[in-house]
Amino acid sequence: MAEHFDVIVAGGGNAALTAALSAHEAGARVLVLEAASRELRGGNSRFTGAIFRVTHDGLDSLKSILDDSNEQWYPRVSVAPYTAEDYASDWNRTSEGRQDPELVATTIEKSFETVQWMHSKGVKWELTADKLVDPSKVDHATTITLAPGGALRTLHEGVGLIDDLYAAVEATDITVWYDSPAHDLIAEGSAVRGIRVRRDHEFIDVYGTVILGCGGFESNPEMRLRYLGPGWDLVKVRGTRFNMGQMHTKAIAAGAQPVGHWGGAHAVPIDASAPPVGDLRITDKMSRYSYPYALLVNRDGHRFIDEGEDNVFLTYAKTGWAVRAQPGGIAYQIFDQKTAHLLEPRYATGTPVVADTIEELADALGVNRRGLLATVQQFNAAVATDAEERVDPFRLDGVSAEPAGQPAKSNWARTIEDGPFVCYPVMCGITFTYGGLKIDREARVITQEGHAMSGLYATGEITGGFFFHNYGAGAGLVRGAVFGRIAGANAAAEAKAVG
């Protein structure tokens, strides 16, 4: 059995759907292959907090795409401009200079125009004013300063993003096949002619120009163990269970060049009671990102990272790695009453351990009592005497501490002494993997010999060369949308040229 389309898009999330919409806009007859059912569609994008890291000139420049519901935040928030230079600097710092400069430059250059284009397709946008704090617990006279690179997200986060994108797709004649994972590429040498689709009782060969937008391999424990190392087969998966890495393997076998940080992944602290794989009833609401205001300790009662190294949007994607490396793969975020009101709203999905004293907290957690008590005492002794006058939770305040025998805390260093103490146990949750297929600025997949593969494009988490070691929040969705739009237009043009 064989079918023919101009453009075939493998995947059903943000990267894939922007590619499909772009190809359709360019006049192509488009098929979308979604491995999940209609009810579970959307890939990792549906689980995300849906921040889009884009260049902008401050709050006023964002208002043209913001939903009217955002007017409530305008008097309460501050958003500094986020220039291309700022973006590039953050990317260079988080990826330690290893990122592909051309791909990153394209992402940054086209970031804002891409969200404007998505807005024209019906995607709605909002500010992240209630992302990291509960505004109802912040004095109305206090300005909530949003991180410039993390100020924008889609309305209703990942669920809203996917709803809006599928509404745009369904308003066209784009065909969507559900329960239809891409199984293999149909190729002649390194020229791709189509995709073999796996169904319960048959294979269907579909011919046309192919765009791979089908995610990383984070849902596959065998591949996690193989590429990320021991213990990674046991971590929790924050998103979809359908990203199995099948097309990584098949594309490389067909001649595609693997590139990037195959031993790296976006991995964050999530509640220790989170399900083993993403649950659409709670999406990303088990994430635990208020650790900059906490002490983060392991079972021995020892600190192991600088909780206040930087804005949380520039540290959260590597903190899960540090948690996974601790004994038992578990850690504990400890807050006192000076900081408990700063917990982001998502903490409401968890049940904290609460105790009046550090000793009682250690016993309740099963943490080494002597170790935890010594850690807290040494940390408190290193906190500046004027810390309370200088601390500012909404910016990098430089209120630091350098306790002997512990990591420094670069910002928001306050004593932990006002009980009752509130603690959330956390584990590592993997979001997506960094290694993938090499593409060029035109989203063409590149062969192991360095040539563009005829008939094959890629976008999103299946591509490599973008992220190494760490990650700035929202860069992944932007990368997927920017190159999805490019891939769609170019695949449509190639399909027309082929005839």
Work out the widest C-alpha separation in the chain, in whole angstroms.
75
pLDDT at residue 141 in the model: 84
pLDDT at residue 195 in the model: 98
* Region 2-218+434-498: CATH code: 3.50.50.60
Mean pLDDT, the chain, integer:
97
CA of 450: how far to CAs of 102, 255, 416, 465, in Å?
15, 10, 55, 15
Percent of the chain with pLDDT over 90: 97
For the chain, which residues score pLDDT lower than 70? none
**pLDDT tens across 83-126, in order?**
999 999 999 999 999 999 999 999 999 999 999 999 999 999 99
**pLDDT tens across 437-468, in order?**
999 999 999 999 999 999 999 999 999 999 99
CATH tag for 267-429 (out of 3.40.50.970, 3.90.700.10, 3.40.50.1000, 3.40.50.2300): 3.90.700.10
Check if the beta carbon of residue 76 is closer than 8 Å to that of residue 15.
no
Q: How many CB atoms lie within 10 A of CB 56?
A: 22
- Residues with Cβ within 8 Å of residue 309, at least 6 apart in sequence: 315, 410, 411
**pLDDT tens across 87-98, in order?**
999 999 999 999
The boundaries of every CATH 3.50.50.60 domain in the chain are 2-218+434-498
The boundaries of every CATH 3.90.700.10 domain in the chain are 267-429
**pLDDT tens across 182-217, in order?**
999 999 999 999 999 999 999 999 999 999 999 999
Distance CA 199, CA 40 (A): 16
